[in-house]
A and B are shown apart, each in its own frame.
Chain A
C-alpha cells in the first residue's frame, strides 16, 4: 500500500493526502508533542514589544511542505545561478562598476542604496565570496511556478529552526521518514562549517552575537554549538597589530580567522560606521581590509539585496553569466522608470507596494487594503519619492495546509532557501517554510505571529 503523505497534481503542485487532523497526526506526529519537544530544547525567538523583551516559542506545524525532486533540481540550479550572479555583482560594484558603466543598472540605484558602503570600496574578500550565506525567499504560485520574492544577503536567519525541527520530528514521527523519500537535511552545520573554513584567514571560527536579548539568540548559540565555533560578544574581542583576537579568561589571546557576525553592518566597527555602536569592534574593518580575518557575510552586501536592486537581478544573470535566469522574480515595477510609474499609479489598487528601506514584513502595503483617500495619498508619496518604493503584482500563491485547533486549514506560506557559498555554491536541501496564522494575511514573518513547518525535499 502506498502510504505516502502527498500526491502530485498535474500542475506540478504537491498536495497532502491526509485531510483531517487524525490522519495527519498519525502520519507526521502530534503537533502538541512536537511543540513540547521544541519548548524543551529552547527553540525560541525574542521579540520587543513596547520596549519589553519577551521570548516566544516559534509555533511549529507538523504538516510539511513537500518539494518534489524534479522541482528542487530546478530551484537548486536557479538559486546557484542567482547567488553566483549576486556575488559577481558585489565584486563588480566594489571595484570597477562595469554594470553601471555599461548602463545595465542606473547609478542612482547603487549610491542611494543604504546598503552601499563606500568603506568597502576595493576590498576583495578571500576567494571573492561576498555572500557566503544567502537566504532567498520564494513563493510557489497556484500554477506550480516558483517566484523569487527577495534576496537576503546580509545576515539571513532561520536555518536553525528547520534543522532542529527535523531532529525532533524524526523522534516524534519516525514512520513519516520511513514511508516517504525525504532527503536528510541535517547537514546544515557541516555545510556552514565548510563555508566558514573557506573564508578563514587563519585562526579559530567565531560567531559574533549582540547577546542574549537578540531576537535570534537561539540560532546564534545553536549554530555555534553545531559548528564547533566560539560564540562571542564584542567585548571579548580586540584588534592588535591588525589581527582580531578573542580575549581569554587567563589574560591570553586566541586569533580569530573567520567571524560569522550576526550584527548589522552599521554596528560592526564604530571607527568605520556608526560611532555610537556599543556592539562593534573598533578597527575590525582594517583587519578585514588587510585580509587577516574573513567576515561572513561581507560588509556592504546590503547593496545587492536592496528591494530596488532586486528588479535588476535577472539582468545581472544575463550580464555576468550570459545565461537566462532559471527562476523568475515576481513581476515588479520601479516607479523610477516613467513607464513603470504610470503603470503603478494606474493600477495601485491591485499591486503590493514595498518600501525598499524596510524589512521583516514591515513597509508592505496591499493596494486593495487602502481606501480611496489613502490610495490618493500613497500616489502622491510615490510621485514625490519614486526611488523609495517598488510595486509588485500580487502573486496568487499556493496556500499550504496547517493544523489549527484540530482542523486542517489553508494558509499563505513562503520558503526561505539557504544557499551557501564556499569553494562552490550549494543549496541546502531544506529551508524555512513560514506560514501566516491569520487567514487574511500574506505576511508570514515570525515577528508578526507566523509559524513554521518542515520542508521535505523528496529524493525521487
Chain B
C-alpha cells in the first residue's frame, strides 16, 4: 500500500544513512587497524577528519571507543543503535527478515567486544550488513520507499568518503550514484534536492582539480542538499 508519511520517510532516509555509517566506519577502521599492525600510522589522522582531539591513550583505547562505545556518536555501536531504532519502527515497510540482520549485527558487535581477535570477530558483521542490503533490495517492493533508503545510504557514503579522504575517483563514482537516485525522487517530497546546493556539488565534484581544493565546500553543500529552495545559508 503505497502511502508514505513524513515521519516514515524521515525514518527510511536515516535508516539508510546510519546503516551505511556503520558499514563505512567499520571498513575505514579495519583499514586503519591493519596499518597500525606495522606501526605505519596511528589514529590521529582519523580523529582529525572529524575535528576531534586525541583523548585516547593508545590504539587499543581508540579502537574500543570507535567500535564499541555507544556513547561515542562516531562509533560503530552508536550508529548501529540508531539504525536499529529507525528500523524497528519500519518493520512493516522493510520486513521482519530485514530487521533481523540489524539485530544479528548488534549481537555480533556485542560478542566482538569480548573477543581477543577484533578483526576476525567483526567479519560476520560485514556479512550481516550485506545481507541487510540484500533484504532491502528483495523485500521492499515499493520503489519510492526503497529509493529514499538508498538516497540516505548514498548521501552518507559520499559524506564519509569526502570527510575521510577517499580518492577522488571513489567520490565521483558515489556522486554519480547519488544523481541517479535523486532523479527518481518525486516532486514536492522532502527528498527533492535543493538545486543550488546540488549544482555547487556537481561543479566541484566534476573536476579533480577543483575537488582537491574545494572538497570542504562540497561537504557543507551536501549537508544542505535537502533544504527547501531559498533556505540557503
Q: Which of B5, B9, B188 has the most CB of A within 10 A?
A: B5
B5, A41: Cβ atoms closer than 8 Å: no
CB of B6 within 8 A of chain A?
Answer: yes
Separation in Å of the B208 CB from the closest CB of chain A? 37
Complex interface: chain A residues within 8 A of B6 (CB): 236, 247-249
B92, A221: Cβ atoms closer than 8 Å: yes
Digitize A214-249: 1 where CB-to-B-CB distance is under 8 Å, 0 elsewhere.
Answer: 000000011011001111110110000000001111
Given contacts A164-B96, A212-B89, could you give 17 more A-B pairs where the C-beta distance is less than 8 Å? A39-B103, A39-B107, A40-B104, A41-B96, A41-B99, A41-B100, A42-B88, A42-B96, A42-B100, A212-B88, A221-B91, A224-B91, A231-B91, A236-B6, A246-B5, A249-B8, A250-B189
Bound: A250/B188 CA distance, A: 5
Binding site for A on B (CB under 8 A): 1, 3-9, 88-89, 91-92, 95-96, 99-100, 103-104, 107, 186-190
Complex interface: chain B residues within 8 A of A290 (CB): none
CB of A251 within 8 A of chain B?
Answer: yes
B188, A251: Cβ atoms closer than 8 Å: yes
CB of A254 within 8 A of chain B?
Answer: yes
Bound: A39/B107 CA distance, A: 10
What are 11 A-B residue pairs whose CB atoms fall within 8 Å in the complex? A41-B103, A42-B99, A42-B103, A204-B1, A205-B1, A225-B92, A236-B5, A247-B6, A248-B4, A249-B9, A250-B189
Separation in Å of the B99 CB from the closest CB of chain A? 6
Digitize A140-182: 1 where CB-to-B-CB distance is under 8 Å, 0 elsewhere.
Answer: 0000000000000000000000001000000000000000000
For B91, give its contact among A39, A225, A251 (CB under 8 Å): A225
A231, B92: Cβ atoms closer than 8 Å: yes
A249, B5: Cβ atoms closer than 8 Å: yes
Separation in Å of the B44 CB from the closest CB of chain A? 39
Complex interface: chain A residues within 8 A of B99 (CB): 41-42
B103, A222: Cβ atoms closer than 8 Å: no
Digitize A174-207: 1 where CB-to-B-CB distance is under 8 Å, 0 elsewhere.
Answer: 0000000000000000000000000000001100
For A246, give its contact among B3, B96, B190 (CB under 8 Å): B3
Q: How many A-B residue pairs have CB under 8 A?
A: 70
Contact status of A230 and B188, CB under 8 A, knowing A40-B103, A40-B104, A236-B7: no
For A222, give its contact among B1, B7, B89, B91 (CB under 8 Å): B91
Contact status of A248 and B88, CB under 8 A, knowing A39-B103, A40-B103, A41-B100: no
Complex interface: chain A residues within 8 A of B92 (CB): 221-222, 224-225, 229-231
Complex interface: chain A residues within 8 A of B7 (CB): 233, 235-236
> Which residue on A lies nearest to B99, using beta carbons?
A42
B1, A230: Cβ atoms closer than 8 Å: yes
> Which residue on B lies nearest to A251, using beta carbons?
B188
**Majority DSSP secondary structure for residues of B touching A:** helix
> Which residue on A lies nearest to B89, using beta carbons?
A212
A229, B1: Cβ atoms closer than 8 Å: yes
Complex interface: chain A residues within 8 A of B95 (CB): 225
A254, B3: Cβ atoms closer than 8 Å: yes
Bound: A235/B7 CA distance, A: 9
Contact status of A222 and B96, CB under 8 A, knowing A40-B104, A42-B103: yes
Contact status of A230 and B3, CB under 8 A, knowing A41-B103, A250-B188: yes
Complex interface: chain B residues within 8 A of A231 (CB): 91-92
Separation in Å of the B81 CB from the closest CB of chain A? 13
Bound: A42/B1 CA distance, A: 24
> Which residue on A lies nearest to B104, using beta carbons?
A40
A40, B100: Cβ atoms closer than 8 Å: yes
A249, B96: Cβ atoms closer than 8 Å: no
Digitize A249-286: 1 where CB-to-B-CB distance is under 8 Å, 0 elsewhere.
Answer: 11100100000000000000000000000000000000
Complex interface: chain A residues within 8 A of B96 (CB): 41-42, 164, 222, 225
Complex interface: chain A residues within 8 A of B107 (CB): 39-40
Bound: A56/B7 CA distance, A: 26
Which are the 10 A-B pairs with shortest beta-carbon distances? A224-B92, A221-B91, A225-B92, A249-B9, A236-B5, A254-B3, A249-B6, A250-B189, A250-B188, A40-B100
Bound: A221/B107 CA distance, A: 22
Separation in Å of the A374 CB from the closest CB of chain B? 44
Separation in Å of the A43 CB from the closest CB of chain B? 9
Bound: A122/B75 CA distance, A: 59
> Which residue on A lies nearest to B8, using beta carbons?
A249
Complex interface: chain B residues within 8 A of A235 (CB): 7
